[in-house]
Amino acid sequence: MFDDGRYVTPAAARPAWQPTRPVAVVIVNWNGHDVLPECFASLLDANYPDLRLIMVDNGSTDDSVAWTRMQHPSVEIIETGENLRWAGGNNVALRQLQKEAFRGHILLLNNDTVVPQGSLGRLVEALEEDPAAWIATPRICYAADPARAWYDGGVVGSWSGWVRHDGIRQLTGNLDPGQRYVDYATGCAMLLAPGVLDKVGELDESFYFYGEDTDYSLRVTALGGRILHVPRSLVLHKVSSSLQGDSPRKNWLRTRSHLHLLRKHWPRRSWPVLLVTQTAFLAGHSVWNLWHGQLASALALWQGACDELRGRDYS
């Protein structure tokens, strides 16, 4: 058949895609015994031909490490002895992979996820076929409600500074199934192409909790890379297994991390506009919390902003 004068091989006649590089999956764990079984089982069921699983344990006090050693002896375990949080834990594994000169794909994956069969291969395939893409990210749905999206791409307002998941809580049947470039990948599941770590470097551990993935994505795009969203690859997420609900602690951390992100990536000339947009965001979020009887959560938003601007310690 012909398309604009070029011969296009019919889909049925094209050879089946075969992976050309190995994949190392890095999973940071902290007291995650309850979620690890499904996560590991789904990855092992993926039947990816050259798959390496690395669990970085951030000083768990449950039996995560002992259970993993007994049930999945093929999983490589790195014990940090302390809680280095998401960025710090991942960086331990990333440094190890760099030291080994690992030249495959690296998937950063939350321990509270399930990867349906075929999803990993589709994600790798899409990344390998797009030389402009440095990161690929799947569609992520609620594990408790797989028909609804939790993440269908990330949007960053260049002037407003607002950062949000696209498609959140929407039925996946109403969402665009096509691949597209997005502004940021979520650290829940982000696949790095070979060589990206050498170009971009490690995750920024100054982000205490939240914002590390958006920061990394903005660093990628600043260097000319693209972030490819692949809706036909699916990951299920057991949302908020580490920080429950819309808690005061969660709001405090999110506000601090977001302001830290803005101060790092937005130029000073944009700060007058950011003052307006961010105040509006905090006010709206506060009203929502107050409407639901969550006074402490509403106050935590403003406290987080004040603490970040003052440079207060996280402890």
pLDDT tens digits, residue range 172-204? 999 999 999 999 999 999 999 999 999 999 999
Q: How many residues does the chain have?
A: 315
Q: Exposed/middle/buried for 1, CB within 10 Å: 0-12, 13-18, 19+? A: exposed
**Cβ–Cβ under 8 Å, residues 68 and 152:** no
Count of other CB atoms within 10 angstroms of residue 303: 17
CA angle 199, 106, 217 (to 5 degrees): 50
Q: Strand runs (DSSP E) across the chain, as ranges?
A: 2-3, 6-7, 23-29, 51-57, 76-79, 105-110, 113-114, 133-142, 145-151, 154-156, 163-165, 180-182, 189-192, 226-237
Q: Exposed/middle/buried for 291, CB within 10 Å: 0-12, 13-18, 19+? A: exposed
pLDDT tens digits, residue range 35-53? 999 999 999 998 888 999 9
Residues of the chain with pLDDT under 70: 1-15, 240-246
CA distances from residue 100 to 77, 94, 96 in whole angstroms, order as listed:
16, 10, 6
How many Å apart are CA 176 and CA 139, to the nearest integer?
A: 11
Q: Nearest 10 degrees: CA dihedral of 194, 125, 170, 213? A: 0
Q: What is the pTM of this model?
A: 0.91
Instruction: Return the percent helix, strand and coil in the chain, to nearest 5.
Output: 40, 25, 40
How many Å apart are CA 68 and CA 191, to the nearest integer?
A: 23
Residue ranges per structural domain of the chain: 12-237, 248-310
Class (C level, CATH) for 12-237: alpha beta
**Cβ–Cβ under 8 Å, residues 43 and 25:** yes
Q: Beta strand pairing status for 189-192 and 163-165?
A: unpaired
Q: What is the pLDDT of residue 51?
A: 96
Q: Exposed/middle/buried for 258, CB within 10 Å: 0-12, 13-18, 19+? A: buried
How many Å apart are CA 168 and CA 103, to the nearest integer?
A: 34
